[in-house]
Amino acid sequence: MNGVVVAETVRRCVTSIAYWAFVALLAIISLGLARFDRPGTAWPSLVSLLAYIIGCTAIGPEFSSGTLQLILTKPVNRSVYLVSRVAGVVSAIWIAALIAFSFELLGRVLWVGAVRLDIIGAILINTFVDTLLICALLVFFASFTRAYFNIVIYMVLMIGLGVAQGMVSMFRSMSGTLGAWLATHDIVDRILASINSNLFPDAPPRLDWHWLLMIASNAAIAIVAACFIFRRREVPYGAD
Amino acid sequence: MSRSLPRAERGVQVRALKKSFGSHAVLQGIDLDVAPGEVVGLIGPNGAGKTTLMSCLLAFLHPNAGEITIDGLPNDDLRVRRRTGFVPERMNFDRRATGYSFLRYMAGLARVGNRETKVRAMLERLGIAGAADRRLSQYSRGMLQRIGMCQALIHDPDFLFLDEPTSGLDPNGVLLVRDLIAEQKQRGAAVLLNSHQLAEVGKVCDRVFFLNRGVIGREETLRHADRIVIAITMLPGFDANAIARIAGNAPKENVVIATVETEADIAQMVREVIATGAGVIDVRKHTADLEGIFRGVA
């Protein structure tokens, strides 16, 4: 890990007006929705949205703008640079998550008078791990594409998997050879569901160490694969 | 930065370098050397492969064949990068960063010690200290070029790769870059300059490689560190054989090019030429006609 890169990445995020506008929105929503009974109503989804927005900028745009070429002439190992960029981006997202979490706690103290720290704490930890996976996948897709193609691939894959699962269910309920085959062979369903839950998981409402470990492992695999590809990748200078 | 790092010993060496994109061979067997304390120019028409060669040297691209070593080490070795400076033709960075914070980041990546002082000193040296706290988005093209030079020189590199460093600079900036290149050469750095400005190349480079269609079309030595190249112009009707014997070169038209070691040797040679009966009308230190050579090669 390179502290200089991590600090610069965080600086770039937190010196953006858009970042603080988003964080302010998060804080207001967390504070307002704390009046309701259900903890963590909206902010985890908004933090995930922030992860999409910031996570897709980690490598791709740098590659296209030529910034990356400038940095790669410095004595920084490519893998270290990539991991440090992920760490910086994730730190900025986690800062936002912590602020949202704090405002939910504040709201609960103000409006409800009681704080279910175990549940809200679990939501915060789940959000941390979930956003780590989002950033790791975006960086993995960025390791072999350029500009913002990583977020395009991510969205196409996420939506495509959902659509594929829906279509399999639809075909299974239909008469005919395919419907009959799908009804007796649920492996297609299971494979699609497994990919979906591994790449685009729904966080459980409570702390689930198995889930946390699975998501953290998937994120680690994505980052290692990204490093492997990025180390050998050519970065044409003056190409764009 | 601590100068415990060794100085450049062998410089940049490129052997039989080939690079293709699909079926298109861009570099077709390049051999070149840049010795420590030498400034080498790289010129050629658009599409000649200059940028590809620069990209291979900086390890942005992987060659299909051949070898690039810098002081005997592979060019992607981190020990080499620690001693490498690169000025891109166009500076691209987070435009919200100030000049100071950008340079501080670059100094951090280059592991420069005593960063604050060094950054301030570089900004002062490049004449942009007054704009240090302005965002890069407010910088002119010339100012971006100057800050590009700052980030490349901040760690006193031993190997300097410059891609059109004077592009967008005003005359003061051009003179400043010329001085900086001379300083780096004096320090013992190996400098490779990629430029379209032939006059500029002629002024700062010791040698020039003419690249055309992926091959080195010609190599021209412009000046020697320890020798002086002179051009003696004579009136017609001189004894060509006698002049060739004295100068070590046959005269072409009315001019003979000779190489001497000291200024006293110039006077001696002129005396000997006059003694043959030749009418000497001009003696000057020789600069190669890069434009003429470029026309011939390209």
| Chain B residues touching residue A75 (CB < 8 angstroms) | 78-79, 81-82, 109-111
* pLDDT at position B229: 77
| Cα distances (Å, whole numbers) of residue A102 to A42, A116, B153, B254 | 14, 13, 46, 87
In sequence order, which ranges of chain B are alpha helices (DSSP H)? 50-57, 78-81, 99-109, 115-125, 141-153, 171-187, 198-204, 240-247, 263-275, 290-297
Looking at per-residue confidence, does B224 or A73 come out higher? A73
Burial of residue B188 (CB within 10 Å: 0-12, 13-18, 19+) is: middle
In the DSSP assignment, the letter for residue B98 is: B
- The answer for residues whose C-beta is within 8 angstroms of residue A181's C-beta and 6 or more apart is none
Q: Which of B92, B145, B159, B164 to mutate to test the interface with A (most CBs of A within 10 A)?
A: B92
Of A126, A43, A61, A81, nearest to A230 by C-alpha is: A81
Instruction: Report whether pLDDT(A239) > 50.
Output: no
- Alpha-carbon distance A155 to nearest alpha carbon in chain B (angstroms): 26
* Residue B118: HSE in the Cβ half-sphere, 13 Å Cα cutoff: 21
Of B34, B93, B101, B38, nearest to B69 by C-alpha is: B34
Q: What is the pLDDT of residues B34-45, one digit of tens each?
A: 999 899 999 888
* pLDDT at position A240: 41
Search chain B and give the residue with CA nearest A239.
Answer: B51
Mean pLDDT of A99-126: 88
- Alpha-carbon distance A21 to nearest alpha carbon in chain B (angstroms): 17
Q: What is the pLDDT of residues B210-246, one digit of tens each?
A: 888 888 888 877 776 566 778 899 999 888 899 999 9
Mean pLDDT of A190-208: 88
Instruction: Report whether pLDDT(B2) > 50.
Output: no
Interface membership of A5 toward B (CB under 8 Å): yes
The ipTM value here is: 0.84
| Chain A residues touching residue B112 (CB < 8 angstroms) | none
Residues of chain B with pLDDT > 70: what percent?
Answer: 92
* pLDDT at position B226: 62
Q: Which two tokens stand for residue B224?
A: 């020697």
- The answer for residues whose C-beta is within 8 angstroms of residue A9's C-beta and 6 or more apart is A58, A84, A85, A87, A88, A89, A91, A92
Interface membership of A77 toward B (CB under 8 Å): yes
Interface membership of A235 toward B (CB under 8 Å): yes
Distance of CA A65 to the CA centre of its chain: 23
Instruction: Report whether pLDDT(B298) > 70.
Output: no
* pLDDT at position A49: 94
Alpha-carbon gap, residue A188 to A211, rounded angstroms:
22
Domain locations in chain B? Answer: 12-221, 228-296
Q: What is the pLDDT of residues A13-23, one digit of tens each?
A: 998 899 999 99
* pLDDT at position A103: 92
Contact between chains at A72 and B84 (C-beta distance less than 8 A): no
**Cα radius of gyration rounded to whole Å, chain B:** 22
Q: Which two tokens stand for residue B122?
A: 């570089």
Of B51, B18, B57, B292, nearest to B191 by C-alpha is: B57
Cβ proximity of A84 and A1 under 8 Å = yes
Contact between chains at B60 and A235 (C-beta distance less than 8 A): yes
| Cα distances (Å, whole numbers) of residue A37 to A25, A32, A120 | 20, 12, 12
Residues of chain A with pLDDT > 70: what percent?
Answer: 99
- The beta-carbon contacts of A151-154 under 8 Å, at least 24 apart in sequence, are A151/A52, A151/A56, A154/A52, A154/A56
Instruction: Report whether pLDDT(B285) > 80.
Output: no
Alpha-carbon gap, residue A35 to A32, rounded angstroms:
6
Interface membership of A11 toward B (CB under 8 Å): yes
Of A26, A39, A35, A37, nearest to A205 by C-alpha is: A39
- Alpha-carbon distance B158 to nearest alpha carbon in chain A (angstroms): 13
Contact between chains at B105 and A4 (C-beta distance less than 8 A): yes
* pLDDT at position A157: 93
- Alpha-carbon distance A227 to nearest alpha carbon in chain B (angstroms): 16
Of A127, A155, A125, nearest to A56 by C-alpha is: A155
Looking at per-residue confidence, does B220 or B123 come out higher? B123
| Cα distances (Å, whole numbers) of residue B53 to A58, A76, B62, B79, B121 | 28, 22, 10, 21, 32
Search chain B and give the residue with CA nearest A8.
Answer: B105
H or E stretch including A24? helix A17-33
| Chain A residues touching residue B106 (CB < 8 angstroms) | 70, 74
Alpha-carbon gap, residue B117 to A234, rounded angstroms:
35
SS3 assignment, position A229? helix
pTM comes to 0.84
Q: Which of A12, A67, A73 to mutate to test the interface with B (most CBs of B within 10 A)?
A: A73
Q: Average pLDDT of chain A? A: 89
* pLDDT at position B4: 46
pLDDT tier for residue A80 given thresholds of 50, 70 and 90? very high
Instruction: Report whether pLDDT(B247) > 50.
Output: yes
* pLDDT at position B288: 63
Mean pLDDT of B268-280: 92
Instruction: Report whether pLDDT(A34) > 90.
Output: no
In CATH, the architecture of B12-221 is 3-Layer(aba) Sandwich (3.40)
| Cα distances (Å, whole numbers) of residue A23 to A16, B114, B230 | 11, 35, 70
Mean pLDDT of A201-210: 87
